[in-house]
Amino acid sequence: MNERDSDIRAALLRVGQREHPDVPLTADELTRFLDLHADANADAEADADEASLRAGDVYLAASCAAWHDEALARFEALYWPRLRSAIGARGLSAAATDEAMQRLREHLFVERQTRRAAIYSYNGRHPLEAWLRVVALRIALALLRKTSARREDDDRRLERVLGAERDPELRYLKQRSSAQLKAILADVLAALEPRDRTLLRQRFVHGLSFVEMARIYDVDASRPRRWITRIRDAVREATRQRVMSELQLSPTECESLFRFVDGELDLTISRHLASEP
């Protein structure tokens, strides 16, 4: 470790101790936490002397990773009630919310043979609470999909929506071109930049509102809305171009099929991204 890195970590410790005076953390414990993800944590360290909130969040996360009782108690006092409310708001019963909170606790702090505790993934780029909300909602939505009696298989949902379509021409085109269209949409989504895919996943798979996304990225709520609009428009246009060049449809047929694309784009995005690891 060079002198600059040492100074930055010392500054991070000072900020963390100031924000969490009753939470212990040694320099060695902080170093271990940061070194597990060197690339990501470099950003967190660089921010330590500029954004004390992030430095304090990294400090608390590192102390939790070291299993200090004081850190775990402060963590639960600060975040647990709001995380529970966020999970409950997604439609889970009280019992299912309890299960989701238990899964969240284990996911964050318990190491498995195949993975480290998830708290080590926090790198300080965004507020700890915003990062925790994404993790918690991902767990809650996975549990909801697994346990809800109203859950339907994605393909069945798609067939139900299409079956309600009263346009006979569109029904015919769907039967004729459905497999190719699904493949085109999947290719277009797969070709997106990683950040755009992350934004779409947060919006359409995790169900985050624009306000929640704004908290994660520390921006005005209008920004995520513009991001999603831009990405959806790009997906729609790329799909239109592929349909016109590959499916050999007449202009009238293309317009009918594009009505399907416009009407089912969000569902298709959700299906495709939710199926990814």
For residue range 22-75, what is the model confidence (pLDDT) as tens digits? Answer: 999 999 999 889 887 554 344 444 444 434 448 899 999 999 999 899 999 999
CB count in 10 Å sphere of residue 26: 13
The mean predicted confidence, pLDDT, of the chain is 78
pLDDT computed for residue 48 by the predictor:
41
Contact status, residue 96 vs residue 143, Cβ threshold 8 Å: yes
List, for the chain, all residue ranges whose pLDDT scores fall below the cut of 70: 1-2, 37-53, 113, 146-178, 253, 256-257, 259-264, 267, 275-277
pLDDT computed for residue 59 by the predictor:
94
Query: Who's near 26: CB < 8 A, 6+ residues apart?
Result: 66
Q: In this structure, what token pair is assigned to residue 129?
A: 């609470």
pLDDT computed for residue 147 by the predictor:
61
pLDDT computed for residue 91 by the predictor:
76
Cα–Cα distances in angstroms (integers) from residue 38 to residues 1, 111, 180, 277, in the given order: 12, 19, 42, 23
CA distance 232 to 226: 10
Query: Who's near 57: CB < 8 A, 6+ residues apart?
Result: 122, 124, 127, 128
Cα–Cα distances in angstroms (integers) from residue 13 to residues 16, 21, 31, 146, in the given order: 5, 11, 10, 42
pLDDT computed for residue 53 by the predictor:
46
